[in-house]
Amino acid sequence: MPAELRRLPADKPIADLLAALDEDGAVVIEGLLDAATLALLNAEVDPALAAADPGMKHLNPAVAFFFGERTRHVAGLASKSRTFATDVMCHPTLLALCDALLLPACAEYVLNLGHLIDRGPGADAQLLHRDELVWVHVPRPAPTLQVASMIALCEFTAENGATRLVPGSHRWPWDRQPEPEEIAQAEMAAGSAVVYLGSLIHGGGANRSAASWRRGLHLSYLVGWLRTEENNVLATPPRIARELPERAQRLLGYGVHDAIAKLGGYCGMVGLRDPIELLREGAL
Ligand SMILES: [Fe+2]
């Protein structure tokens, strides 16, 4: 019997979602996005996705190998979809989970990455990995630094490569590898999401379907004092960011990380000012 993920409806109390995340390191949230939001988001990303080249140039061969040649990517989603920037990135359920999981280790968390991953027929399974290995210099054990999600923008099935996750692996020694029966697959309807901790082992599944592209949205958040995978301020420059709500601007990294109350300091100032104020004043 393969491992199973817990599945909870999006209107369950946050405490129930947190309990599942604490125990398993991952939880499927059914119906996270309603049908209208899902339709808008899909329509807004369609042009960028149509222009995406599965053979795109990556940073280096290792990144190219990790994603494979049959995957279309659209990163920097906040600059391409207002629905993403307002209703998805600022989704109250996701932010409530981040409040509980990330605020113990920071004054404010930010968007790490908003990245559409469209995996085509024939795409190989991704290497199983932990997202927090990006920040390899952080000594372990460490508090939770990153919270991630994969939001299904179409139905995720075992055949089309639903994300594979290893429940409980957030508590394992970092050198332990899973046995096949310890791996669960996040099959889910469009609009549902699997949320997982940055320390959990997971990876994209192989797409063995004949013609089904598996369109998923990787959305992750990071403690606000650590460098994000995507440079979100450059990806969503001031001309776009100034039209967004302040919460979205802060998530995109425009705000200072203010640890003064903890006898720390500020990160992210411009001319010793908070860039959020400069945006408001039209100075950025
Ligand atoms: Fe990952």
Segment holding 95, helix H or strand E: helix 92-102
Band (pLDDT 50/70/90 cuts) for residue 18 is very high
Q: pLDDT, tens digit, for every residue of 133-165?
A: 999 999 999 999 999 999 999 999 999 999 999
Q: What is the pLDDT of residue 108?
A: 98
The Å distance, Cα 199 to ligand 1 centre, comes to: 10
3 with 184: CB under 8 angstroms?
A: yes
User: Coil, strand or helix: which one is 194?
Assistant: strand
Give me ligand 1 centre to Cα 165, in Å.
Answer: 10
| Confidence (pLDDT) at 78 | 97
Measuring CA to CA, which residue among 97, 137, 148, 140 is closest to residue 226?
137
**pLDDT for the residue 70:** 86
The per-residue pLDDT for 60 is 76
Q: How confident is the model at residue 284 (pLDDT cuts 50, 70, 90)?
A: very high
Centre of ligand 1 from the C-alpha of residue 196, in Å: 10
Burial (CB < 10 A; 0-12, 13-18, 19+), residue 60, is exposed
Average pLDDT along the chain: 95
CA-closest candidate to residue 252, choices 111, 146, 115, 114: 111
pTM of the predicted model as reported, rounded to 2 decimal places: 0.96
Query: What's the CA-to-centroid distance between 206 and ligand 1, angstroms?
Result: 14
Please give the distance, rounded to the nearest whole angstrom, from the Cα atom of residue 113 to the centre of ligand 1.
Answer: 11
| Cα-to-centroid distance, 130 and ligand 1 (Å) | 6
